Amino acid sequence: MHEGGEPAADNADEIADRNIADAPDKELKQTSDRPLMIGVGASAGGFDAFCALLEALPAEPGFALIFVQHQDSGHEGLLTDLLARRSRMPVIEIKDPIHIQANHVYVAPADSKVSMSNGVLTLQRFDPASDRHKTIDTLLIALAQDQADNAVGVLLSGTASDGINGLKEIREMGGITLVQDARSARFNDLPLAAVQAGAADYVLPPAAIALELLRIAGAYPKFFRPRSEPQLKSAEHEILKKILIQVWALSGIDFSSYKQTTVKRRIERRIVLTKLTGFREYYEFLEKNPGEVQALYQDLMINVTHFFRESEVFHSLHTEILPKLLQNKTEGAPIRVWVPGCSSGEEVYSFAITLLEFLGEKASSAQIQIFGTDISDAAIERARAAFYPASIETDVSQQRLQRFFMKRDGGYQIAKPVRDLCVFARQNVFKDPPFSNLDIISCRNVLIYFGIELQRRVFPMFHYALNASGYLILGGSESIGSYATYFSLAHSKQKIYCKKNIAPQLMFEFSRGSAATERHNLLRPLRDDATRSLEPQREADRMILDKYGPPCVLINSDMIIIQFRGKTGLFLEPAAGTASFHLLRMAREGLAVPCHTAVQEAMAAQLPVRKDGIRFRSNGGFSVVDLSVMPLLSSGPEKFLLVTFENARHEDESSSEGTVAEMTMNENKSDPEETLRLQQELSATKEYLQSVIESQEAFNEELRSANEEILSANEELQSTNEELETAKEELQSANEELTTLNEELQIRNQDLANVNDDLSNLLNSINLAIIMLDGQLCVRRFTPLAEKLMNLIPSDVGRPFSDINPSIIAPGLPDIVREVIDTLATREMEVQDRDGRWYNLRIRPYKTMENRIDGALLALVDIGLTKQATERAERSAESLVIYADAMHEPVVMLTAADLRIYHANRAFCNRYQLTLAEIQHRRLNELGDPALNSQSLRYLLQDILPREQCINNFVLDAASGASVRLVVNARQIAPEGVREPMTLLAISERTEMAEN
């Protein structure tokens, strides 16, 4: 979980928790004087969208809108006037600091940065060089930090990526975000980038956004109550436990140990988003919709971060911390960094970049290991992919983008040298072992989400994991509080701490318990208002016990003092030498023997034991006390006892001195009281000695038994040592094999990277639209040209193809693709896009190297020019046909190669008394006319005509005795768009007199 807001204590636990981490959740509630605040950002095309949103809102919607749009200077006041004509609410341009009121629209001036503090809008100094494309982010981030879950972010039409980080910040703080859908936006680059970055709760057109804002404003007063109301009613308390059990069943993570204020707010946010009315209805919705359980789990994770967050920390790291760290490291020792709660990896890569910049030329020889861990599998996968949207340009300088990033697919990929330094893994810091020998731990803005018990376990773990001179970096809202004994402050402003060389008492519980055990822990009662109401009573009980109760100590079975109660200084004092809390070592002279005896008797009988009138030396004199030892009931294996000191009283020193003097003068005279006292001491001493003797005998017996066990264990260890020697040799052999295998894998990995680079360059260079689908018909890869034709974006990789809305018109395309996969037959079809351009779509199965079908490949070829040429050819041929039909003489069009009839006019068909259908595509010599079957005609048309191009008045030889001869006129033509030349043949008749 990542980052929260300002400190706010909601119960006694959180007040006590300020000593551990000073930042519970920031909660600003919807009240009459604090309306819901809507931040709206837009750039190109956003004016029309915002007008549509305003026109759909009533005059009193119950919330305030702050509008920021990228606009050129010199148009001051123009935007405000135009919006005032379209809005039913007053429209005010932000100038002086202005307190926000409900049912108003506030417009940022051109080239201005707007900030907010305590509901007051102010203008900040604007730097045209660095702030021109950050004005939306500036407003939304300030809105989120000032209003927390009382903020709503809206992003409308535009380009670039300004506003995406602001939406993420609002979601992180518990607010709701809305984005205009790509279809209704004039420029959809910004909305698409926001959706791709996962920063949108709703994606709607402007009018629908207005209706959704009205619904959210109506739902907020129900859930986001003032602090004075009870946090959890008893019914909600039980439902909340059941909801967390649902999340635990899905993720295996117990959120009951997280701050319940944060958990409750996140659940209420999901209730608003799902348009439900309460906890019980939401729980029933969860049972029927497993997808919502996943959505709630992701919301509870709060996976929000960005590059070089709190940039001053990285500046201090570069200038102060790293020089000191490397100064204390031996040459060749690795630099190890751990980032728990790394989310999607931006902070891990920020540390890697900072280290590379600091080391400079030495970076190639340095050993750097940076570990990023998170409990979210999805976050770890994004971190490993190392691909981020173009919106990171607002956080990363151009120099760093050019040096450490590669631009591709509309975003940025972390360069391979940086990725090689970072290792990502799923880890629960409360169940899994930590890393060790670390130089830096960066746990920023994570602890603020943990409950008291979780925080108490984290700091000893961090202390254990760090090297002697290691550093712990916390967020700006966090501190170590009562754990200052473990860490010293190295940089107060940036919350950087240095490890102290002490031995902390670790609280590790890394054993993976059964699911039943985890479920039992999850079902433990959550703290509610009834529990918190007992805190004053407990405090009163404590005060009474401290004032009127007897001094006592709580010890365990080893006589180690666990807790002091009351003023015990009269009876106990630290012993000289090594510090110890052992009861007998701290007992004053005369108390050790009775304490030992009473404790032994109480432990043996498990009953209270009382020793009255024990005389002991204290503060130079003697005192008398009644000692009692009471065993405590305990459900665990460890036993505890309460040792109390009652009725303590001082003896009169003068009386004692007089008694001593009297005893000195009258040695033979016995004092019955003194004799009784001495007898009691002697009896106690005998009992003590007897218990010591028994303990010693038992101890000796145990030593003899232990000695035998040690001898036996020694033999087993010798045998084990021989086995280990053998295993060592086997491990060395296996290590050599693994080294060889690792080298082979590195070579193959390099080959694979080269092939991937070749494939990427090939796909980016070919001028074809190609889409590769996997066996589940999900998008696997596509070329840049396919992005526009198929309406794809880089994040569509992995999405089902049926969810894509392509720009081409091809009804039933997914079904056709499935048919191709099933039949293994390639399909071709001609399709048009929405602009009327023609493409040839070829669909073929995708085959692997093993000749296995694993999807399909779609290729689009632009056939617009071919289609135009064909149409021109058809028009040209139609013109020739029309001309031929208009002639009275027989005219026929033939293919030049084989003299087949392409077309004949009506006069030609009538001459041979055949229809066009009967003679079309037949050879000329197949019509039955001897003249047309003559050798001279074929020679004329196939040999002479191609050279001459034109033949006029050629007379065909008639049959002997015939009075009519045929006169042929021929011309070779090449109609536009026709692949082969054509022969145009006109036939006329000539009548001759028969020879006498």
The whole-angstrom separation of Cα 300 and Cα 358 is: 36
Residue by residue, DSSP assigns 94-138 as: --S-EE--TT-EEEPPTT-EEEEETTEEEEE---HHHHTT-HHHH
Q: Are 127 and 113 in contact (CB under 8 A)?
A: no
Class of residue 180 by CB neighbours under 10 A (exposed 0-12, middle 13-18, buried 19+): buried
Tokens read off for 514: 């059964």
Residue bearing tokens 């033999």:
715
Token pair 């649902």 is found at: 246
Q: Residue 67: which of 37, 96, 88 has the closest Cα?
A: 37
What gap in Å lies between CA 812 and CA 818, rounded to an integer?
10
Residues 668 and 662 sit within 8 Å (Cβ to Cβ): no
d(Cα 840, Cα 948) in Å, to the nearest integer? 40
Report the side by side order of strands in the sheet with 827-833.
Answer: 779-782, 769-773, 853-862, 838-847, 827-833, 808-809
Side chain identity at 545, as an amino acid letter? L
Which residues does the annotation mark as catalytic? 43, 70, 162
Strand partners, 623: 616, 650
Displacement of CA 957 from its chain's centroid (Å): 92
Amino acid at 671: D
Strands (E), 286-334: none
- The CB-side HSE value for 137 (13 A sphere, CA atoms) comes to 20
Q: Which of 228, 229, 37, 232 is nearest to 148 (CA)?
A: 37
Distances (CA, A) of 405 to 345, 352, 417, 784, 966: 14, 12, 10, 20, 82
Residue 815, amino acid: D
797: its two tokens: 């990789």
Can you give the length of the chain in residues?
996
**Residue closest to 615 by CA, chosen among 691, 672, 684:** 684
User: Could you tell me the two tokens for 827?
Assistant: 């399909």
Q: Tally the C-alpha atoms within 13 A of residue 32's C-alpha that lie toward its C-beta.
A: 0
Q: Give the DSSP per-residue string, 470-511.
A: EEEEE-TT---GGGGGTEEEEETTTTEEEE-S----------
Give CA separation, 168 vs 172, 299, 929, in Å.
6, 12, 88
Q: What residues contact 123, with CB distance under 8 A and at least 6 apart?
A: 94, 95, 109, 112, 113, 114, 115
CA distance 437 to 334: 10
Tokens describing residue 347: 């902070």
Q: Name which of 376, 391, 222 is nearest 299 in CA terms.
A: 376
Residue type present at position 687: E
What gap in Å lies between CA 102 and CA 394, rounded to an integer?
32
Helix (H, G, I), strand (E, B) or coil at 552: strand
Q: What stretches of 542-656 adopt beta strand conformation (E)?
A: 552-556, 561-565, 609-618, 621-632, 640-650
Q: 3-state class of 169 per DSSP?
A: helix
Strands (E) located in 633-753: 640-650
Distances (CA, A) of 602 to 549, 558, 639, 967: 21, 13, 11, 142
Is residue 646 within 8 A of residue 626, CB to CB? The reply is: yes
